[in-house]
Amino acid sequence: MNSPKFPSPPRLAVWLVKRLERYRTNHAITDDMREVFTRMYRERGFIVACIWYWSQGLDAVIKDILFNSQWRFIMLKNYIKIAFRNINKQKVYSFINISGLTIGFTCFILIFLFIQYELSCDRFHENSKRIYRVIHKMTKNDETASSKSASSQPALVPTLLDEFQEVESATRVGRYIMGSINIKSDVFFIKKWVWADKRIFDVFTLPLINGEPKTALERPFSVVIDEETAQKYFGNESPVGKTLQFAIAYSPKKYTYQITGVMKNIPAKSHFKPHFIGSFETQRSLGYPLDWEGPPFHSYILLHKNSDYHELENKIQTYIERNIIPISRRKNWTYTLQPLTDIHLRSTDIQNNFEQGGDIKYVYICSVLAFFIILIACVNYINLSTARGIRRSREVCIRKVVGANRSQLIKQFLGESMILTLASLMMAIVFVYVFIGPFATFVGRDIKIHSIANPGIILVLIGTGLLVGILSGFYPAVFLSRFSPITILKGVIGQKIKKINLRNGLVVFQFSISIFLIFSTLIISGQLNYIHNKKLGYERKHVVVVDLPFNTGSQIQDTARNELMQIHGIKGVTFSLTLPILMDWNARMDYQGRQSDELFETNYCDVDHSFIDVFNMEIIEGRNFSREITSDLSGGGSYILNETAAKQLGWDEPIGEKIGQGPDEMGQVIGIVKDFNSRSLYEPHKPVVLKLAPGGYIFRSRFMAVKISTENITGTIEAVEKLWKKLVRIYPFEYYFLDNAYDNMYKSEIRFGTIFKYFTLLAIFISCFGLFGLVSFTAEQSRKEISIRRILGASTQNIFMFLSWKFIKWVIIANLIALPIGYYLMHKWLQDFAFRIDLSFFMFFYAFVLAFFIALCTISIQSIKAATANPADSLRHE
């Protein structure tokens, strides 16, 4: 036969159809289909034939599955029926299992969504993987301290663009600036204005709705605003081409800017969210220094594809050391690059961030906690199903006798755990739906329920569900299917089952986690309490602080002070450069008797006469500033130092010594104030210099602090607001209490403490559930034994001890395991604080007693019931 070669049908389809032949003896489906395929090919072409083959193949596969699974389906129906019967028959254990798993899954999903949110920050930029932020690290000469800052010198970006080929584009973005804007005849107060290069739109993905990204920020005095702002100030009109006037806070000068573009609102997942982007060129026009001495900017660079940023870091370092640093006179500069995607979670040690981000540490801790909770729930399942094995043993044997093989049984039991797990997962999703709102508020992130409808997340959820199902079902399945029909049908039940140590091990494991959590919660809440109640060296209760976003003249300060003091309920008013909790102003001071070249670096604050009184600080040497003594204001002014500053300056007799910001501005030290906790408790005491501002009013007063009496607080604040409106007009009255601001500094710690508390409660809850189930099984299993013991004269206490002792034993062992681990980890956590509580013996004791007590209570419920039951009831039947 001389027939031409015919093409073969699609290989994948052939392979698929071939699978079908495995199950059948006389089958020629592939050959038949090939014959028709060839015919089709001859008549209607290759493509039609292929389509035909595929559709036939798929159809055959589906038909085959439907046809053949009939028998399997009948078996499956039986399995499902038995599973539901078991769930129904043993309501308590099913409840324990399902509720445990549901709680576990709920925590897991919530935490997972949180982590997913945290990790997805700043990833909406197209080039997010190639964008880096320059971190500027400065080390003190003696290498005792170093600080990392997110902002760097304005001359850096042009240098990087000129000198390094790896850099595709780079931009400077200034810090947030507060100020006031005039639009038409209205004045508004704004908080988020930044300066940026025109290249900001090359580096970041900030699409403009209106305007040309290439040129929008090219000329001086141009500004791009976001959609929200445009809507707010211009309504539906197009703002492009219009003008606005802007004045930086503390500065009286207003300039006119042209709006050259409107950008889409920056997503909440961005680490910076300015509403106004002013062109960098404006800075040049206004004559600001933009060299290595200029005001700091955030620098972002976009690298070319395939460039290695570690390599670039080294190159930059070499270049800077060779060419720049001698000019700048400063020493120990280092520039490092931080990937954009790290900014949100890994910037806790970096200063000058735009906004406070998350903390990778807490992300890790949360995931570990969620994992623990699910694990505890799994352990419950394993323990209860193996314990329940005695009941199931007969079923297993009958199935085996009738002809089930072991793999079938394993599949059945795995299936049961799957059903339970999936049911829990469904319920957990409902719970997540309910709790996601409060949870999102609690963690302070904008997490929405619809973020769960993401293919990746769904896949992870299903994966976790299956994994948990297998994890919790596998051991019971293997264990239950191992029963030998002969021994069990003979009646030798339970001898083997009683012996397993795994269950005890798992109880120990479960309780170790719970005890560890109890201990940690005790320590964390102890430390948080300590923070909350710590005497800081200044009074923070009943102090109202008002941010002053503008330059107050001496008159406003005097008028405000005089009028405020007349309001009933106000005990004191002070204007100052910074606050005792903040102390964010640094100065280099010259001082008498200075021997080295180095100036004295210290926290610095301009204050007025009443600062010490309002904050109720304690003068331990010398005297307070006084209005009566005119010399306090004359000459270089007068100073009060804190103990640390006095000590570091090394004077024998500090009072009367001179200190100042330059040789001609030296002023006298008149008093020493007791050390107070400036900044956070993570840091030890820092030197602080308080200067009574010359002239009696503060040139740069950023804060007004008002001490109020406890009565009628709202009334007093309203009175202050009224005065504010009269004096200030355009700026909104924004106030806060100093103690709230202080607590705010520890927001993430407080959050962390609360999360720990809830997790601990849940973990204890689930473990106790499991323990409860186990004890009731033991009690039931040894019901006859207990009855006989009682008849023979055992007392209730004896029986109680008999039942409880072995569990108590395991809880004690769990304590021994958990407490050292807890000690180690908590000790490490506390090390971060310069001011912290001590780990005392009592904390271990409390944790121990608490865990012991909870376990004992759980056990007692069942033990007492078993011990007091009437022996006749359980013996009568046989």
Partner 1 sequence: MKILSVNEQIFLIAIWRLKDEAYGVRIRDKIKEMTGRTFTFGTLYNTLDYLAKKDYVTSRAVQILNQAGGNKRVYYTITKAGLEALREARELQEALWKGIKKYAF
Residues within the interface to partner 1 (CB under 8 A): 1, 3, 5-6, 20, 24, 26-36, 38-39, 55-56, 59-64, 67
* Nearest distance from C-beta of residue 403 to partner 1, angstroms: 21
Q: How far is the CB of 59 from partner 1 (least distance, A)?
A: 4
Nearer to partner 1 among residue 18 and residue 304 (C-beta): 18
Q: 542: which 2 tokens?
A: 């009943």
CB 408 to partner 1: min, Å: 23
What is the rounded distance in angstroms from the CA atom of residue 331 to the CA atom of residue 325?
Answer: 7
C-alpha neighbours within 13 Å on the C-beta side of residue 341: 12
Q: Which is nearer to partner 1, 56 or 86 (CB)?
A: 56
Residue 405 C-beta: closest distance to partner 1, Å: 24
Q: Write the DSSP assignment of 204-244 as a string of letters.
A: S---EEES-TTTTTTSTTEEEEEHHHHHHHHTTS--TT-EE
Among candidate residues 175, 467, 130, the one with its CA nearest the CA of residue 309:
130
Q: For residue 588, give both structure tokens.
A: 């280099």
C-alpha closest to that of 18 among 32, 38, 2: 32
Q: How far is the CB of 52 from partner 1 (least distance, A)?
A: 10
Residue 711 CB neighbours (<10 A)? 9
Question: Based on CB atoms, which residue is closest to partner 1, 38 or 754?
Answer: 38
Closest approach of Cβ 65 to partner 1, in Å?
Answer: 10
Phi, psi for residue 746 in degrees, rounded to 5: -110, 25
CB closer to partner 1 out of 30 and 520: 30
| Structural element, H or E, at residue 749 | helix 747-781
Pairwise CA distance, residues 660 & 666, whole Å? 4
The distance of closest approach from Cβ of residue 30 to partner 1 in the complex, given in angstroms and rounded to an integer, is 6
Angle at 630 between CA 625 and CA 635, to 5 degrees: 90
SS3 label, residue 710: coil
Give the contacts of 573 (CB within 8 A, at least 6 positions apart): 560, 561, 564, 565, 610, 614, 704, 705, 706, 707
Q: What is the distance between the alpha carbons of residues 195 and 339, in angstroms, rounded to a whole number?
A: 22
Nearest CB to partner 1, comparing residues 71 and 824: 71
Judged by CB, which is closer to partner 1: 65, or 92? 65
- Could you give the CA distance from residue 165 to residue 327 in angstroms, rounded to a whole number? 24
CB closer to partner 1, 33 vs 414: 33
The residue whose two tokens read 């012991």 is 852
Q: Which is nearer to partner 1, 17 or 224 (CB)?
A: 17
CB of 46 to partner 1, least distance (A): 15
Measured from the CB atom, the residue of 63 and 865 that comes closer to partner 1 is 63
Contact 702, 552 (CB under 8 A): no
Of the two residues 29 and 875, which places its CB atom closer to partner 1 in the complex? Answer: 29
DSSP string, 774-796: HHHHHHHHTHHHHHHHHHTT--H
If you count them, how many residues does the chain have? Answer: 878
CA gap 534, 742 in Å, rounded:
11
Q: How far apart are CA 484 and CA 463, in angstroms?
A: 34
Give dist(CA 289, CA 536) in Å, integer. 40
CA distance 327 to 469: 66
H-assigned helices in 246-344: 281-285, 309-323, 325-328
In the complex, minimum distance from the CB of residue 44 to partner 1, in angstroms, rounded to a whole number = 15
**498/622 Cα distance (integer angstroms):** 78
Please say which residue, 32 or 311, places its beta carbon nearer to partner 1. Answer: 32
CB of 33 to partner 1, least distance (A): 6
Complex with partner 1: residue 45 or 695, whichever CB lies closer:
45
In angstroms, what is the minimal distance from the CB of 404 to partner 1?
24
Nearest approach, Cβ of residue 6 and partner 1 (Å) = 6
- Min dist. Cβ of residue 213 to partner 1 (A): 57
Cα–Cα nearest to 406, from 466, 502, 467, 479? 479
Strands 688-692 vs 570-576: parallel, antiparallel or unpaired: unpaired
Beta carbon of residue 402, minimum distance to partner 1 (angstroms, whole number): 23
7 vs 494 by CB, closer to partner 1: 7
